[in-house]
Structure 1
Amino acid sequence: MTTVDRTQVFLLPDLGEGLSEAEIVEWRVAVGDVVTVDQSVVEVETAKAVVDVPCPYAGRVVALHGAAGEVRPVGQPLITIAPLDGGDEPAAHATYREEERAGSGNVLIGYGTGHGGAGRRRRRPRLALAPESGGTPSPAAAGGTAPLVISPIVRRLAKEHGVDLATLRGTGPGGVVRRADVEAARTTAPATRLAAVPDQPAAHVGLAPVGDGDVVIPLTGIRKVIADKLSRSRREIPEVTIWVDVDATGLLETRRAINAATPDEPVSILALLARICLSGLRKFPQLNAHVDTEGQRIVQSAGVHLGIAAQTDRGLIVPVLRDAQRLTTRELAAALVETTTAARAGTLPPARLTGGTFTLNNYGVFGVDGSTPIINHPEAALLGVGRIVDKPWVVDGQLAVRKVTQLSLTFDHRVCDGGVAGGFLRHVADCVEQPALLVANV
C-alpha cells in the first residue's frame, strides 16, 4: 500500500520592499501543536519591522525550519503542517487563498483579513540568554540583575556597536531591551575600531585600507536596504530636480483658521501639503506612475498610494497611505499621525511599507532649506519641502516679511518632460501661496 504524503510546507513569504530575508525572533508554536488558517506561527524581524507571520494551512505542526536567531531567505521552508487525523481537510484549509496564489507566490497574509484573532499577542519577557552557554539562562539573569533581552538581533546589534547590555534599561514591556534602546546607547558607546593589519595590503583582500583609529560601521540591516534601494534608483532612473521658492504665509493662515474652527481635529501643514500633492497628481497623472523596464512601458496608477518619508531610530523608511485620494483633509491628517507614530515604533507591517506611487518628503524638520532628493524606486517623482522661515518678499510691489519655503521636485525624465514636471510644481506652489485655488480644484 502506498503512503501519500499530505504535509504542507509553508515557505517564508515575500516580505516586499526588496527584502530577501528575515531573522526568526520567536516561534509562536511548537512541534505537535494544532494550528488554524491565518494563525500566527512565528515572529520575524526584517530590516524594516518586526512582524508576526500567519500560516495559510491548518493542521498539526510536524517541523519548524530554523531556530530563534537564524536568518531565513525568502522562499525557503519555514514550517511543515500535516493534516489532522480523521479525513481530508477542507479545501480552504489545505491550499492558499486566491490572493496568495497571485503575484509572486508566498506573501504575508492575515493583515486586515478578519481571520485569526486580534493581531499580535503580547510576549512575556524571558530570561536573557548567555551567548556562550548555548541557550541556558545565565546566573545573572536568573538573579534578576541582567537585562531582559528577547531578540537575538538586539544582542547582535549591541555586540556590533560595543554596547554593554548590562548598562541598559529596557523600554519594552516588562523592561525588555529593544533595538531602539541599543540605538540610543550607541551615541555614548565606544565605536567599533579596527586596527590596520601590517604587511597585508588592501589589494590582497579586495578591501579599502583601514588604518589605526578608523571607525568601522557595518553596512547591515536597514542601512543596507536603504543603500541598495537608493543605489538602484540612481543607477536606473534618469532623474532631474527642479525647485521654486514660495510664500507659505497663506497656507499657515489657512491652517490656523481650520484648527480654530475644529480644535479637536487639528490639521497639520503636512496634511495640507499632502492634499495639495493629490490635487496636483489629479491634474498631472503622468507623475503618479512607474516605468516597467521589462515591458518597455509606463504604468500610470489608478490610485495615489502616497509615501511619507519618516526618519526613525532604525533609519529612513517610507510608509504608504493607500488610495490617499479618497481621504478628506482631516482623514489625511489623522492617517499621517497614526502612520508616522507606528513607523517610529516599528509596528507597521511590510504591506504598509511598500507599493507607493509618489512620495512627499518634509526635510524642513531638519532645519534645511533645500535638497535634491533621490526618487523612491520604482516611483517616478518625489516632492521635497524645506523649512518655513521669515524672509523678505515683494507683495504688491512692496517689500514685506513673509513665511517662505522652498519646494523641490525630483522626477523621472522617462515618464515626462519638463513641461509636465514644471506644471505640477507650479500648481503645488500656487496652492501653497493661494490655498483658495485648492478649493477651486477639488
Structure 2
Amino acid sequence: MSEQVFVLPDLGEGLAEAEIVQWLVAVGDTVAVDQSVVEVETAKAVVDVPCPYAGRVVALHGAAGEVRPVGQPLITVAASGEAGAEPAGHAVYREEERAGSGNVLIGYGTGHGGAGRRRRRAGLAVVAEPSQPGAPSSPAVPGVTTPPPVPGAGIAGPPPGPGGVLVISPIVRRLARDGGVDLRTVTGTGPGGVIRRADVEAVASVGSTPATEAPAVTPSTADAPAAPPVGDADVVVPLTGIRRVIADKLSRSRREIPEVTIWVDVDATGLLATRAAINEAQPDRPVGLLALLARICLSGLRRFPQLNSQVDTANQRIVQFAGVHLGIATQTDRGLVVPVLRDAHRLTTTELAAELSATTAAARAGTLPPARLTGGTFTLNNYGVFGVDGSTPIINHPEAALLGVGRIVDKPWVVDGQLAVRKVTQLSLTFDHRVCDGGVAGGFLRHVADCVEQPARLIAAT
C-alpha cells in the first residue's frame, strides 16, 4: 500500500500552529496535486492549504475548530488504485515526500519542509502523561514508538495505565501546565477520549479542576491577586489567535517605545474639492481621501525621513529606511490588522488608490498572506471611520511613527478674517521620541496639515 501523509507545513513568520476552519474535501474524495484541501486560520490570516499529493483521501486529521501544530498530520492520501486505509487503531507516519508538488503556499514559502524533517514510523497513537507535574514519564515499551495521536484515525492499544491520559499535542500539555490544570481530571471530547485544547480551556475558564495536593504558598503566590470568579452570566473569551498577537504587539510597543502624540485641527475643504476634481477627470479610476492622505504622508516622509525609521536596540542604532512600506490600519471581523503597501513611494496617486482598495478588501476577507501583514515602516490610521474626532494610537511596533485621521465634520472656521462653515478634521501624529525630537515631528505634522488645507502645496513639494 502506498500512502502519503501531508503535515501542516512550516508557516513561517513565527507561526507554530493553525486552527482548522473547514475541510474542503472528505474521506473518499479524489484529490489532485496542489488541490486545496483545508482552510486554516493562523494568528495573521485565513489561507487555503494545498496538498502536494494526488490520490484518494483516506483520513482527515483534525476537526473544524481544532488547533494543529506545525509538523502534525493534516491529511492521508492513498495513491489511485490502492486499497483503503490501514486497520483502525493504527496511524502510519512517513517522511513527507519531496517530489510531486512545486506549489508555493502564498505567504508561507513552499509547502515542503527541508531535508531535516524527522521520519515518523508506524506505532501506537497513545501518549502517556506523567501523573504529577515534573514526574517522569511511563517507561517506554521496547520496539514501540509512540507518536502523537491522530484525531479521526482511531486510538490504538489499550487504555493508558494509572496516571496516563490521552493528549493531542505538546501544546495541550503546555496549556494545561501553564493554566494549572490537572489533565487526569479532564474528560477528553476527541476521538477515543483524546483531550483537546478546548477541553483544557473549558476547565481552566471555570476553575473546576480539583487539586490533588494544595500548592505550597510562597510570597509571590500569596501576594498575587486571586483570579476573578466566573459567573453564569460572564462571557469568557480565550486570548488566542490574532487577538493574542494584537495584545502581545501592543503591549510590547507600550513597554519599549517612549511615544508622544501631537495633533492639529485642519480645514480639509480644499482636499475634498481636489478629490472631486480628480474623480471627475478620471471616473473610471476613482481616488479616495485615504489615497490622497497617503500621498501627503509620503511627501512628508521625504522631507522628514527620521520618522520612516526603526530603533535597533540590539545594536544600539537607528535605521532610516530608503523606501516607504506604508501600513494601513484596517478593522476586520478578526480584529485590527495592518496590511502593508510595499514601496508605496514608487506608486502614483491613482496606483495608491487601487492598491489601497484591493489590499484593505483582501485584509477584511482574511485572504492576505502573513508576509503582507508585516514589514511596515510607517502607518496611516483612519479612525475617523468610527465617528471619532481624535485619538492617541499606539505605534505599530517596531515602527517609529503613526499618523491618525479623525472624522471630517462641518465646523465654524475663520477664513480670511471671516467666519465660515468648513470641512474640518483632526490629525494626530504619534512618534517614537528616540528617533527625533518635537521639531522634526512638528515639522512633519505641519507639512501634512498644510497639504491638506492647500493641496497645491503637495504639487510644489513633489
Check whether the contact 1:245–1:406 (CA below 8 A) recurs between aligned residues: yes
**Match for residue 172 of structure 1?**
none
**Match for residue 252 of structure 1?**
272
Check whether the contact 1:278–1:304 (CA below 8 A) recurs between aligned residues: yes
**In the superposition, relative to structure 1, how do residues 417 and 66 fare at CA in structure 2: closer, same or farther (>3 Å)?**
farther
Supply the AA of the counterpart residue of 2:234: D
Residue 59 of structure 1, CA deviation: 10
Superposed, 1:73-92 pairs within 5 Å as 73-74=69-70, 80-82=95-97
**In the superposition, relative to structure 1, how do residues 34 and 310 fare at CA in structure 2: closer, same or farther (>3 Å)?**
closer
Q: 2:442 aligns with which of 422, 425, 428?
A: 422
**Match for residue 72 of structure 1?**
68
Q: 1:389 aligns with which of 409, 416, 427?
A: 409
SS for the counterpart of 1:81 is coil
Q: 1:254 and 1:107 mapped to 2: Cα distance?
A: 37
Superposed, 1:189-208 pairs within 5 Å as 207-208=227-228
Residues 1:362 and 2:359 aligned together: no
Provide TM-score, normalisation by structure 1.
0.65
Q: 1:340 and 1:403 mapped to 2: Cα distance?
A: 26
**In the superposition, relative to structure 1, how do residues 273 and 215 fare at CA in structure 2: closer, same or farther (>3 Å)?**
same
Residues 1:306 and 2:326 aligned together: yes
Residue 22 of structure 1, CA deviation: 1.2
**Match for residue 18 of structure 2?**
22
**What RMSD over aligned residues (CA atoms) do the two structures have, in Å?**
4.0
**Match for residue 172 of structure 2?**
none
Supply the AA of the counterpart residue of 2:97: A
Query: Which string of whole-angstrom CA distances, capped at 9 and with x for unpartnered residues, describes residues 136-168 of structure 1?
Result: 9xxxxxxxxxxxxxxxxxxxxxxxxxxxxxxxx
Superposed, 1:40-439 pairs within 5 Å as 43-53=39-49, 67-69=62-64, 70-74=66-70, 80-82=95-97, 108-109=108-109, 207-211=227-231, 213-439=233-459
Q: 2:36 and 2:96 mapped to 1: Cα distance?
A: 13
Residue 314 of structure 1, CA deviation: 1.5
Q: 1:330 and 1:252 mapped to 2: Cα distance?
A: 16
SS for the counterpart of 1:384 is strand
- % identical equivalent positions: 73
Check whether the contact 1:59–1:82 (CA below 8 A) recurs between aligned residues: no
SS for the counterpart of 1:411 is strand
**In the superposition, relative to structure 1, how do residues 440 and 75 fare at CA in structure 2: closer, same or farther (>3 Å)?**
farther
Residue 71 of structure 1, CA deviation: 2.5
Supply the AA of the counterpart residue of 1:67: G
Q: 1:10 and 1:323 mapped to 2: Cα distance?
A: 35
Gaps of 5+ in 1: 1-6, 101-105, 112-133, 137-193
Q: 1:75 and 1:303 mapped to 2: Cα distance?
A: 36
Supply the AA of the counterpart residue of 2:47: V
Check whether the contact 1:12–1:72 (CA below 8 A) recurs between aligned residues: no
Provide TM-score, normalisation by structure 2.
0.63
SS for the counterpart of 1:263 is coil
Check whether the contact 1:310–1:340 (CA below 8 A) recurs between aligned residues: yes
Residue 365 of structure 1, CA deviation: 0.7
SS for the counterpart of 2:397 is coil
Query: Which string of whole-angstrom CA distances, capped at 9 and with x for unpartnered residues, describes residues 245-291 of structure 1?
Result: 11111101111111111122111111100110111111111111112
SS for the counterpart of 1:375 is coil
Query: Which string of whole-angstrom CA distances, capped at 9 and with x for unpartnered residues, describes residues 13-71 of structure 1?
Result: 2442x54421245487999x9987x776754211332213468x89999x999534542
Q: 2:72 and 2:457 mapped to 1: Cα distance?
A: 53
Check whether the contact 2:8–2:68 (CA below 8 A) recurs between aligned residues: no
Check whether the contact 1:19–1:225 (CA below 8 A) recurs between aligned residues: no
**Match for residue 117 of structure 1?**
none
Q: Tell me whether 70-79 or 400-409 shows the greater mean CA deviation.
A: 70-79
Supply the AA of the counterpart residue of 2:10: P
Check whether the contact 2:267–2:452 (CA below 8 A) recurs between aligned residues: yes
**In the superposition, relative to structure 1, how do residues 82 and 47 fare at CA in structure 2: closer, same or farther (>3 Å)?**
closer
**Match for residue 118 of structure 1?**
none
